[in-house]
Amino acid sequence: MPNVTVKAKDGGSFQAYVAMPARTPAPGLVVIQEIFGVNKVMRDLTDAYAAQGYVAICPDIFWRIEPGVDITDKSEAEWQKAFDLFGKFEVDLGVQDLIATLGHVRAMPECTGKAGSVGYCLGGKMAYLMASRSDADANVSFYGVGLDELIGEAGGISAPYLCHVAEKDGFVPPEAQARFVPALEKHPKATVHVYAGQDHAFARVGGQHYDQAAAELANGRTRDFLAAHLG
C-alpha cells in the first residue's frame, strides 16, 4: 500500500505515501513534508515511523500547485524550485488537507483511531498549526519555520505538542526564536527543546547540516513522546 488517495474537503483529491507497521491496529501518524515534496527523505522517515509501530502517512501537500513533487536538496536548481513552491503554498489550505489526511488515516481499518502528526521545516510549521487547529492527539515540529508569526495561535493548542528548535537555524533567526520559544515554554501542553549550535535540518540524514548526535537525541525524544501520547 505505497500510495492512497485522500479526498480534499473542498473537492479534488491528492496522493499520500503510506507505510504499515508490523502489527495492526496501530495509532496513525501524519508525516509532513519539507519543501522538497514527498521525496526519498520523507518516504524513508515514513517507513521509519511505521517500523516504530504507526500507520504512517505522508501526504502531498503541494498537490494544489504541482502534484508529485519529488526533489532533493543537492542542486541550486532544486533549491530554487523548492523555494518557489514554498512561496506559492497556501498555508490555510495546507492545514485543511492535513486535517483531511488525519481523518483518512483514522478511518483506515488498520488504525486504532488515535493519530498525531510530525513535520519537518515547512512541515514543522504545519505540525504546529495541526496542534492549534486540529484534534490530532499529539504533534511534533522539527525546526519549524515562521512560528514567530503564528504565536497568537498557541492558545488553540489543547493536545501535547513537542517542538525541536535549532539554535543556529539559518531560516529562524534569534529574534524570531525569542518571540516563540519563551511563549511555548510557558504553555502547559508544549515541550520545547533547543539544540545548541545546530542549524536547520540537523536531523535530515545526508543533509548539509546533519548532526548524528543531535538527530538521535531529537528522534529519541520524539519516539518517547509519541509512544506516551499515541500508544
Residues marked as catalytic: 169, 200
Question: Between 122-133 and 91-107, two packed helices, what is the crossing angle to 10 degrees?
Answer: 70
Instruction: Determine the Cα–Cα distance for residues 139 and 160; give it in Å rounded to an integer.
Output: 7
Per the DSSP assignment, residues forming a β-bridge with 7 are 13
Instruction: Determine the Cα–Cα distance for residues 52 and 32; give it in Å rounded to an integer.
Output: 17
Instruction: Determine the Cα–Cα distance for residues 9 and 134; give it in Å rounded to an integer.
Output: 14
Instruction: Determine the Cα–Cα distance for residues 38 and 61; give it in Å rounded to an integer.
Output: 9
Q: Are 127 and 118 in contact (CB under 8 A)?
A: yes
Sign, CA torsion 204/100/154/85:
positive
SS3 196: coil
